[in-house]
Structure 1
Amino acid sequence: MSTEPATTPAAALPRRLWGGAWRLVLALSVGMTAFALAHGVEPELGAGGSTGGWIALDMLFGVFLLVLYPLRHRFPMPVSLAIGAMSGFSALGAGLAMMAVISLATRRRVGEIGVVSAVFVASALTAEQIVFPGSQDPWWLMLVIMMVGTGVLILIGLYLGGRRQLLVTLREQAAGSLREQRAQLDAARANERTRIAREMHDVLAHRLSLVALHAGALEYRSDLGPGRTRDAAGVIRENAHLALGELREVLGLLRTESIGSAVEVSLPQPSLADLGRLLDENRGAGTVVGLSLPVELEADPVLLPEATGRHLYRIIQEALTNARRHAPGAPVSVTLGVRPVGRVTVRVENPLVSAAGSEVAGRRSMAPPSGLGLEGLAERAELAGGKLEAGPDADDRFVLEAWLPWKN
């Protein structure tokens, strides 16, 4: 599983130091070049010709700009305004002033950019008139040059700010996608565990309840003759073998689906055609089961789609298991129907109490209830596009009703 890249402060520190160092070196290089050009070309500065005084003021403002420059991230607007106001009087700080404008423009706030740009241009024009009063260039030419230069700096800042924002957005999207992928994987695992539990319950609950029922009869009935004892032991052995075989089938199906293999499993899934065998097993365990089929299914049990038939089989199987566990010996009625709206229905009902006088009356199955049967059936019906409801009615009967979609 992929993991999110972790950037610790210790790991990011060298990168931040390097980024600040090369920007500072570049700004100082630009400033020293501008300082040399400004004070090396002009023979006389200022109205009074005090060349040394203007050079000292230039250097002093340059030092101030160097001190203010590192504070631009903490106080972006005040620092940028101060740097812009002094930038015109310090050729040594020209590079720092340019970096400050670019840095502010990365914030992509039009109001801040407009105010600082105006101060930056006004400072340059004012300094041009005070420091170099003898310049032959018209003031409007200086204005155009400063506006174009400032515009270029702003465009660079906007580009860098947009690029940073894009990187932040991409990182957030990547982190969100990773979290979503993990959530989907966790949900898939939870669904897989639920499916495995449902299949295990559907396969084993019926067989084990029969085993427990007959084992309980052998334990509590001391009047059984050798023949009936032998028959009960045979039922236990047969259902134990069938339980092992069906468990092997489920595990094989799960393994086949998990590895994407095309290997066929040896045992088929039950269908509605196996319903007669299921009812015979329950009748052999002492449960009186009545079955009512519609004409369509009575004539051709495999008329239903394979998945629909399997779902109906599992629903009836679990309903019979619950009846045998909670009302042993009570008669059970199973009714299948076909609705014109494209549904096949099943209704299983039995009295809430055991049948009096039955061999198994008053004695619960020795297998503890799992508590997952009806819940698993409801999930199965919902996944198949249908619905299942179960509970006691007004006549003290437990009724399970379900419908599944089917187009005849």
Structure 2
Amino acid sequence: MTIELDRPGLLAAMISPGSLGAPGNGRRTPRDWIVDVTFVVLGMAASVIGLAVPDGSKINPPVALHATIGVLAAVSLMLRRKWPLGIALVLIVLSAFLPTVGSSSGLALFSLAVHRRPIVSVLGCVAAVLSCVLQFWIYPPARSIPYVYWMVVSLTSLLCVAAVAWGIVVRTRRELMVSLAERARRAEEEQELRVEQGRRRERERIAREMHDALGHRLSLLSVHAGALEFRPEMPSDELAQAAGVIRSSARECMEDLREIVGVLRSPDSAAPGDRRPQPGLADVDTLVEESRTAGMTVMFTPLSSPPESIPLATGRHGYRIIQEGLTNARKHAPGQPVTIVVSGAAGNGLSIEVRNPLVDSVPGAGSRVGLVGLAERAKLAGGTLDHGPTTTSCFRLHAWLPWPATS
């Protein structure tokens, strides 16, 4: 955002929260009215001094004209916010010929330094000094004091420099306040953006967990329900076992859904201890047994190292990759054997391979979008994931996850 600091009154509007208007941009605030009226009163009071025109002046204007122009010059300060440069130049030129305008020109010079760039203010100060030189030549001070002319010119010039310096300080302070306010606004927006990004990442994580967990449970439900549908004459003990697996899978699905919906509704309301622990590589044996119970032939080669030695995050990602591999094999290659090999060591990384023979397309098998989620999961964990057919007519899913040696 570009801030036009040279616009009169814009700074006052930006540093006055709650203001209904800004000088030069609409209605004045009560503070603006007080400052403007004070300037006018000071200009009128100081113009009275200019009525005492010393003897020996080069010109001698009528007192009425002298006073009228001094009053008008003071009143014109009400417009200094809207036209600071024009008012300052007019009053500086008039002050060279009419001493009653001198005080008003000094106030206008200060306002010019507040509302315009320093280079403009410095040029205005040079014009004011030249006006002082001309004014005291036209209206010379008392000649009885030696070097009084240069003393008065020097003193008036110092006052002009002080007015400009003070105005630049005020302008710089206002610019700093505007800059700080802008930085605070940007910092707040960036913080809101970071919070929103965090929420989006959390939603994506929840979506991946929902797909991985529920997809596996629902595929088991589908297999057992299909067995009940096509084998109504099965023995009662097998029927009870299948019904028990269906009931257990349905309960697990409901618990997963309840936890996920609870997190989505109020992510801060549930303490971490209230959530179920996330599965890891130590739970892969149970996962394999569930698949075998559902009728799959699974050949599992576990990791030689204890599962507890693997970092929790790596183990959780490994579990989800194996789970999705089993789910995909169940949907895309029903009845085919599945081979799972988990290997690796600390410092070399964790390697997971899931293989199953390729079969013709199965109606309703899905679009394999879960593999996209697995690739994203592996990438976020700092690993890699490859999948696709091999030369031996198998479908191979291979993932590598980092396993630091210091864990």
TM-score range, shorter chain: 0.7 to 0.9
1:284 aligns with 2:296: no
Aligned residue among 156, 181, 190 for 2:200:
190
- Structure 1 residue runs without a partner (length 5+): 355-360
2:166 counterpart residue number: 156
Structure 2 counterpart of 1:46, one-letter code:
S
- Residues 8-407 of structure 1 mapped to structure 2, 5 A cutoff: 10=20, 16-40=28-52, 42=53, 44=55, 46-47=57-58, 50=60, 53-62=61-70, 65-66=73-74, 69-107=77-115, 109-132=117-140, 135-137=143-145, 138-221=148-231, 224=234, 226-247=236-257, 258-259=268-269, 261=271, 263=273, 265=275, 267-294=276-303, 296-297=304-305, 300-338=306-344, 341-353=347-359, 364=364, 369=366, 373-407=370-404
* Offset at residue 276 of structure 1 (A): 1.9
Tell whether the 8 Å contact from 1:27 to 1:94 is kept in structure 2 after alignment. Answer: no
* Offset at residue 168 of structure 1 (A): 0.6
Greater shift, 11-20 or 380-389, is seen at 11-20
Task: Tell me the number of residue pairs that the alignment of Structure 1 and Structure 2 aligns.
Answer: 387
* Offset at residue 227 of structure 1 (A): 4.9
* Offset at residue 220 of structure 1 (A): 4.2
In the superposition, the TM-score normalised over structure 2's length comes to: 0.81
Could you tell me how far apart the structure 2 residues matched to 1:78 and 1:43 are? 29
* Offset at residue 214 of structure 1 (A): 1.6
In the superposition, the TM-score normalised over structure 1's length comes to: 0.81
- Structure 2 residue runs without a partner (length 5+): 1-14
Deviations 1:231-255 (A, max 9, x none): 3323212222233345556678889
* Offset at residue 19 of structure 1 (A): 4.0
Could you tell me how far apart the structure 2 residues matched to 1:35 and 1:302 are? 91
* Offset at residue 269 of structure 1 (A): 3.0
2:5 counterpart residue number: none
Tell whether the 8 Å contact from 1:117 to 1:150 is kept in structure 2 after alignment. Answer: yes
Structural RMSD (CA): 3.5
Could you tell me how far apart the structure 1 residues matched to 2:54 and 2:149 are? 20
SS in structure 2 of the partner of residue 93 of structure 1: helix
Structure 2 counterpart of 1:21, one-letter code:
W
* Offset at residue 107 of structure 1 (A): 4.6
* Offset at residue 11 of structure 1 (A): 5.6
Paired-residue identity, % = 36
